[in-house]
């Protein structure tokens, strides 16, 4: 039952992120940097966020998304420069892997 719930939450979060523009998605990402709390729902939220970033085919998100596309780094806040996400600021050292 928990997996069904997390899958439902993932889909809801992804739909919300897909309705957002890139600037709003970056703002949501930056709010998560430094947050060390963890729960299954947060994992679903972060994976939906990662997948929403990946839908921007012209966006270089390599500063936050693992090469294999299965994880997202919450180590640093990012800003958009051209079509590239640039990591900046203090390194918080956080990462999330696919559930």
Could you tell me the residue range of the domain that residue 59 belongs to?
Answer: 2-97
Confidence of residue 99 (pLDDT cuts 50, 70, 90): very low
Which residue pairs from 55-61 have beta carbons closer than 8 angstroms and sit at least 24 positions apart in sequence?
55/18, 56/22, 58/83, 59/22, 59/83, 59/84, 59/85, 60/84, 60/85, 61/85
In this prediction the pTM is: 0.85
Report pLDDT for 70. 87
pLDDT tens-digit profile of 12-67?
999 999 999 999 999 999 999 988 888 899 999 999 999 999 999 999 999 999 98
Number of domains the chain contains: 1
* pLDDT tens, residue by residue, 70-84: 889 999 999 999 999
């Amino acid at each position: 039952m928990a997996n069904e719930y997390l899958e439902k939450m993932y889909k809801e979060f992804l739909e919300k992120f897909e309705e957002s523009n890139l600037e709003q998605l970056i703002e949501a990402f930056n709010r998560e940097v430094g947050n060390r709390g963890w729960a299954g729902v947060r994992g679903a939220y972060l994976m939906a966020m990662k997948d929403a970033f990946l839908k921007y085919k012209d966006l270089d998100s390599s500063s936050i998304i693992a090469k294999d596309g299965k994880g997202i780094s919450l180590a640093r806040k990012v800003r958009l420069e051209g079509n590239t996400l640039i990591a900046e600021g203090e390194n918080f050292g956080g990462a999330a892997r696919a559930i």
